[in-house]
């Protein structure tokens, strides 16, 4: 294989850890669809422009099936994903599973959850106020809020949170041996399988009960697949939002004028959150696909069997799509709707309305409760987490 670059991550080569790496920005201008090296002595096409990424995510010739030969995995010992991990399904299987979940995550149902989210936010901030300084914001607020929310929505006992939190960290860790990731998945699946059985015997008003009673017991969805669906929802649903809260807090502290705008107009909060979602580099590893037929992306021919990596963090900083994209500007309003933080097309994040609701409530409430909030360490000392699937922080010490 020729000596090619690999996908750069935020913070590579000492760059600002919340910015698009300089190489990605340069490639976006000079060679927006280019070959890069991926694990296994193979190559894949890296796509960095916003329009090209959105177009590619709508193309049925790009498959999400990680089992296809040539798929651009993140590691040489990539462990198999459990059945039911529908983010790796193509239609019609993907369509069938996703429809089972649509009702729970519809905006009108999420709206009914907002009072409960507000209650959880207030409770966590009350507890945080009693802690000695410095406080690890990620541990005290960023992580518990989406964990509580997902537990209540799915019907997972919050007291069992360490079971899936600990295993999630191992599953997402790109540096762990594949067999350890498989073992962590096994523990999570075993736990959720037992929970599904318990809900089938004594159903409640939650998503696990719904799957147990209305899908598994009717034969519509095999138990093994239902457990995989729940694992994906629980894993991605709490870890992504937790990191958005922590990274969003850092970003607002680094942009005090923007923070004042967030707090100065309640009606503008939803649009401001969209700008934060555009700005933050959460899925720094890109969305990965495999071509099932020849197609063209950005004027480049991609052959069947070739891997494609869609660099959505670069797409969200594309000057062709957003004016001065490297600047956080909460006044962009709803013009930022086209961002790629949730993906695009049929695989666009099913839980995005829930994540939005939490961010819209949590971030203003945090700064209103603690107006003197600031980092307890120098920004350069913040321990950013780039060894996992989702970018974030290991911890975030703050004082006020």
Q: Which residues is 290 bridged to in the sheet?
A: 63, 307
At 163, the pLDDT band (50, 70, 90 cuts) reads confident
CA dihedral 116, 117, 123, 128 (to 10 degrees): 170
Tell me which residue has tokens 């020849």: 294
In 80-210 the beta strands, taken as DSSP E runs, fall at 135-136
User: How far, in Å, CA of 137 to CA of 128, rounded?
Assistant: 8
Task: Report the pLDDT averaged over residues 71-89.
Answer: 92
Beta carbons of 372 and 400 less than 8 angstroms apart: yes
Residues of the chain above pLDDT 70, percent:
99
Q: Please report the DSSP string for 146-192 in residue order.
A: HHHHHHHHHT--GGGHHHHHHHHHHHHBTTS-HHHHHHHHHHHHHHH
Who has greater pLDDT, 301 or 78?
Answer: 301
Average confidence score pLDDT of the chain: 94
257 has pLDDT over 80: yes
Tell me which residue has tokens 């300089």: 22
pLDDT of residue 13: 58
Q: Which residues is 310 bridged to in the sheet?
A: 47, 287
Q: Where are the alpha helices (DSSP H) in 255-311?
A: 256-264, 269-279
pLDDT of residue 321: 96
11 has pLDDT over 80: no
* pTM for this predicted structure: 0.94
Task: Report the pLDDT averaged over residues 173-199.
Answer: 94
CA angle 104, 172, 387 (to 5 degrees): 135
191 has pLDDT over 90: yes
2 has pLDDT over 80: no
pLDDT of residue 14: 62
pLDDT of residue 202: 96
Beta carbons of 50 and 44 less than 8 angstroms apart: no
Segment 311-365, tens digit of pLDDT: 999 999 999 999 999 999 999 877 888 999 999 999 999 999 999 999 999 999 9
- Report domain extents, the chain: 12-399
* Cα 192 off chain centre by: 21
User: How far, in Å, CA of 46 to CA of 340, rounded?
Assistant: 16
Q: Which residues contact 52 (CB under 8 A, 6 or more apart)?
A: 32, 33, 297, 298, 315
12 has pLDDT over 80: no
Segment 19-50, tens digit of pLDDT: 888 899 999 999 999 999 999 889 999 999 99
User: How far, in Å, CA of 24 to CA of 45, rounded?
Assistant: 13
Homologous superfamily assigned to 12-399: Cytochrome P450 (1.10.630.10)
User: How far, in Å, CA of 71 to CA of 92, rounded?
Assistant: 20
């Amino acid at each position: 294989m020729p000596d090619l670059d690999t996908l750069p991550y935020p913070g590579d080569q000492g760059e600002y850890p919340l910015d698009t790496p300089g190489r990605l920005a340069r490639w976006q201008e000079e060679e927006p669809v280019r070959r890069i090296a991926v694990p296994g002595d193979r190559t894949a096409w890296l796509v960095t422009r916003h329009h090209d990424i959105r177009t590619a995510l709508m193309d049925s010739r790009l498959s999400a099936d990680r089992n296809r030969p040539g798929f651009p995995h993140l590691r040489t010992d990539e462990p198999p994903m459990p059945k039911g991990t529908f983010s790796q399904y193509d239609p019609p299987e993907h369509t069938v599973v996703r429809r089972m979940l649509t009702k729970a995550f519809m905006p009108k149902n999420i709206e009914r959850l907002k009072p409960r989210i507000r209650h959880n936010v207030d409770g966590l901030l009350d507890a945080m106020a009693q802690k000695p300084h410095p406080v690890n914001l990620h541990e005290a607020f960023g992580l518990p809020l989406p964990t509580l929310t997902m537990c209540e929505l799915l019907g997972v006992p919050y007291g069992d949170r360490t079971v899936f939190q600990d295993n999630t960290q191992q599953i997402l860790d790109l540096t762990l041996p594949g067999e350890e990731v498989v073992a962590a998945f096994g523990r999570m699946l075993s736990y959720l399988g037992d929970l599904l059985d318990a809900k089938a015997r004594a159903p409640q008003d939650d998503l696990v009960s719904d799957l147990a009673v209305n899908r598994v017991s009717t034969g519509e969805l095999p138990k093994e697949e239902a457990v995989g669906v729940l694992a994906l929802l629980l894993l991605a649903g709490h870890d992504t939002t937790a990191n958005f809260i922590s990274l969003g807090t850092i970003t607002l502290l680094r942009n005090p004028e923007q923070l004042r705008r967030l707090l100065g107009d309640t009606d503008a909060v939803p649009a401001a959150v969209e700008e934060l979602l555009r700005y933050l580099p959460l899925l720094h590893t890109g969305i990965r696909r495999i071509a099932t037929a020849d197609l063209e992306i950005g004027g480049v021919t991609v052959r069947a069997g070739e891997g494609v990596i869609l660099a959505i963090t670069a797409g969200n900083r594309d000057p062709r799509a957003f004016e001065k994209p490297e600047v956080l500007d909460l006044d962009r309003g709803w013009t930022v709707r086209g961002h790629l933080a949730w993906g695009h097309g049929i695989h666009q994040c099913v839980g995005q309305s829930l994540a939005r609701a939490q961010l819209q409530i949590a971030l203003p409430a945090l700064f209103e409760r603690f107006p003197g909030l600031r980092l307890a360490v120098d920004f350069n000392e913040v321990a950013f987490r780039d060894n996992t699937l989702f970018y974030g922080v290991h911890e975030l010490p703050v004082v006020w």
